[in-house]
Amino acid sequence: MHSSNRFASWRQRISPGSAEAYALATLLVVAASLVRWGLSFISDEIFLFAAFYPAILFATYIGGLGVGIFAALLGAVIALWAFMPHPLTSGLEIKLVAYVFASSLITWGAEHYRKLRKSLEDEEKFRNLAVEELAHRLKNKLATIQSIISFQLRDEPPLRDRILSRLNALSATDDLIMAAQGKGARISDILAAELAPYDVSRASVSGPDCQLPPKLALTMTLLIHELATNAAKYGALSGSHGKLSIGWSLSGTRLKLEWREM
């Protein structure tokens, strides 16, 4: 996985059709020529052009169609100049036609795949940008709502504080959902966010790692927030020796959460 990521990062640094792409294509063809030279000790008849196909493939994938055609032409010139058998054998024209046909298929296929991958990468970047913009706007709206509530309920501090604490809990879960690119949030992360204001050493948390969809994650957040608030006011967390035991289990599509205060 790490090697493929490094290759993708290195590939993105080379612009299609650039001088670097043509230089890379030349290096690939030279490497293929060395391989072809080694294969000449086995047979001159079979491997006249075959060693150049991988160079054409990678040159097209990295540098684009023009670079791939350049690699195919350069490979043909080197093969005919350096490795063509002497005296000439019959069937050379057929081998050359086969090379042109195979190279055309390789360059077309690699270019099609390169464009498709580029399109998917662009879509992914746009989606990430949209998610980040949505998260920014939601935070601004939430800040506005909190300001309105604080002003309207300034004479009722208990009610104001309860509403604001719930909004803050939902905001924390929204951050978790956005961090997961809108895929939801893990229940362990929700518990960690809600129990963070308290002494977490007094809480025992256990259960399978599971990702909750966005709507269920928000509902679970409100539920855990109320349980934690009640525990802090009236239950295990209101004293100095109380403890929490929180566990959950999955059975098919059913999630069971067990909250114990001791």
116 and 64 together in one domain: yes
Quick check: 6 pLDDT over 60? no
CA atoms within 13 A on the CB side of 175: 12
3-class DSSP assignment, residue 239: coil
Pick the residue with more confidence: 236 or 176?
236
180 and 219 together in one domain: yes
Q: Residue 191 — pLDDT band, cuts 50, 70, 90?
A: confident
Q: What percent of the chain has pLDDT over 90?
A: 0
Residues spanned by the domain of 192? 153-198+209-238
120 and 15 together in one domain: yes
Report the domain count for the chain. 2
101 and 8 together in one domain: yes
20 and 88 together in one domain: yes
The structure tokens listed for 93 are 């024209």
75 and 162 together in one domain: no
83 and 183 together in one domain: no
Contact 171, 139 (CB under 8 A): yes
The lowest-confidence range among 16-20, 108-112, 121-125, 188-192 is: 16-20
pLDDT of residue 152: 78
pLDDT of residue 81: 81
Distance, in Å, from the CA atom of 139 to the CA atom of 142, rounded to the nearest integer, reads 5
Position 139 in a domain:
no
111 and 157 together in one domain: no
pTM for the whole thing? 0.44
Q: Residue 119 — pLDDT band, cuts 50, 70, 90?
A: confident
Position 38 in a domain:
yes
Position 36 in a domain:
yes
Q: What percent of the chain has pLDDT over 70?
A: 77
